[in-house]
Amino acid sequence: MTALKNDRFLRALLKQPVDVTPVWMMRQAGRYLPEYRASRARAGDFMSLCKNPQFACEVTLQPLERYPLDAAILFSDILTIPDAMGQGLYFETGEGPRFRKVIDTPADIEALPIPDAESDLGYVMDAVRTIRTALDGRVPLIGFSGSPWTLATYMIEGGSSKDFRKAKAMLYDTPEALHLLLDKLAQAVTSYLNGQIRAGAQAVQIFDTWGGNLSAAAYQEFSLAYMRKIVAGLIREHEGRQVPVILFTKNGGLWLESLADSGAEALGLDWTCDIGEARRRVGAKVALQGNMDPSVLYAKPAAIRAEVGRILESYGQGSGHVFNLGHGITPEVDPAHAGAFIEAVHELSGRYHQG
């Protein structure tokens, strides 16, 4: 494989010296870009975009053509695993993801297969290989998956949910059934991420989007315990380099110390955490990724620059910070504002990495 021309993202995750703070954006390949909307229109629909490796590669690279980002992230969806388990994923306009089959009973869980990364999710592995070739060492490629708890909520609710009524009822009424589902999903996620690493992903992120909706005790038992299991089962070195793991629990600021003990190299923070306080709490155990409020990108470039400066100052001197948004970039953002954000990170961060 081609040597990396820009490895500051990987270096920062391992707390090694960098010249400037690296930056990428969650959902950086997405609807805020007119070129993405054009590609999606040509593909026909979202899943056709995901399942065609050439289209997935095209949209993965689009933000890199516009901006000097320090990493690419695989274009896919967190719900590919439940789809491969036979749940029948589809997208309804204005409604988001839905499943044709929903988990209602312990028997439904027992019947679920654990998908094979290459045979059942080969289109994702093909996309990773295609993207790595196209990147030609420009920047590292990030692979990703949803966390077991997050995937389970969609499978039990049949789609997105505001209150997680069915999933939480299962958690308290029949915890043994939920544990069986989460264990199967942990096995599937481990296999899936290892498949992505073998195919060429140079770092991986686990998106625990809904972990922050749990109580403190339930989070430890039903979310973090399974992410720990995944981290323990991942390939940690490939192509002669360490493969860092990032855990991102939205609204997980209460549990940073537990997350820092998970075995992951880095923690993603949402914008409700102060990054300087987070750094004081976790010490040198992990790198931190984040954590500007995505809504700041609706403001004028001067305000964006000021907020970037504030977050950099809060984190302080030294490596171990990957700048990102606290959640995904939203579709209504002006692409020029995203450009101003990335430019500000690179311009303002150099002084934090001197000496």
Q: What is the pLDDT of residues 305-329, one digit of tens each?
A: 999 999 999 999 999 999 999 999 9
Both structure tokens of 302:
């001067």
21 annotated to bind ligand: no
154 annotated to bind ligand: yes
Angle separating helix axes 301-315 and 335-349, nearest 10 degrees: 40
Read off the pLDDT of residues 201-256 as tens digits, 9 standing for 90 and up: 999 999 999 999 999 999 999 999 999 999 999 999 999 999 999 999 999 999 99
- Output Rg (C-alpha) for the chain, integer angstroms: 19
30 annotated to bind ligand: yes
SS3 label, residue 74: coil
29 annotated to bind ligand: yes
| Closest alpha carbon to 56 in 126, 151, 142 | 126
C-alpha–C-alpha distance, residues 13 and 232, integer Å = 18
Q: What is the mean pLDDT of residues 13-36?
A: 97
Q: How many CA atoms lie within 13 A of 246 on its CB side?
A: 29
Where residue 354 falls among pLDDT bands split at 50, 70, 90? confident
79 near 148, Cβ under 8 Å?
no
SS3 label, residue 108: helix
C-alpha–C-alpha distance, residues 128 and 142, integer Å = 9
27 annotated to bind ligand: yes
Predicted local distance difference test score (pLDDT) of residue 2? 76
C-alpha–C-alpha distance, residues 139 and 131, integer Å = 11
| Closest alpha carbon to 256 in 304, 303, 208 | 208
Q: Cite the active site residues.
A: 27, 31, 40, 77, 154
Is domain 44-286 annotated with CATH 3.20.20.210? yes
Strand partners, 321: 288
228 annotated to bind ligand: no
- Is beta strand 266-268 parallel, antiparallel or unpaired with respect to 287-289? parallel
Both structure tokens of 240:
């002669």
293 Rama sector, left if φ>0, alpha if ψ -120 to 50, beta otherwise:
beta
Q: What is the mean pLDDT of residues 114-128?
A: 97
Lowest mean pLDDT among 1-10, 111-120, 327-336: 1-10
275 near 290, Cβ under 8 Å?
yes
Q: What is the mean pLDDT of residues 285-294?
A: 97
- Is beta strand 245-249 parallel, antiparallel or unpaired with respect to 266-268? parallel
132 annotated to bind ligand: no
Q: Is the dihedral of CA 10, 73, 29, 155 positive or negative?
A: negative
100 annotated to bind ligand: no
C-alpha–C-alpha distance, residues 227 and 221, integer Å = 10
Q: What is the mean pLDDT of residues 278-295?
A: 97
The reported pTM is 0.97
Amino acid identity of residue 4, one-letter, is L
